[in-house]
Amino acid sequence: MAVTLMLGSAGCREEGAAEKAGKKVDEMVDRLRYGDEGDLEKAGRKLGEAADDATRKTGEALEDLGKELQGD
């Protein structure tokens, strides 16, 4: 996972103060919500959240396409 993050961010600009602060807030919220989960549990949870998000976005895109094809 760390390698994926490094490769994925290789072409990105440097983070600003707001992005760094946002990440810290996200980490604190995760610790409060999920306690001391291990790395594998965290990775599994994040993967599940990403899959849920992708499923939702795909469904929305298909609904939009269906409306467009129907001429709505």
Each residue of 19-68: pLDDT tens digit? Answer: 999 999 988 888 888 888 888 998 999 999 999 999 999 999 999 999 99
Question: Residue 3 pLDDT > 60, yes or no?
Answer: no
Give the pTM.
0.53
Task: State residue 7's pLDDT score.
Answer: 46
* Rounded average pLDDT over 4-29: 75
Q: Which two tokens stand for residue 60?
A: 């929305």
- Of 29 and 9, more confident: 29
Interhelix angle for 39-70 vs 17-34, to 10°? 110
65 half-sphere exposure, CB direction, 13 A CA radius:
6
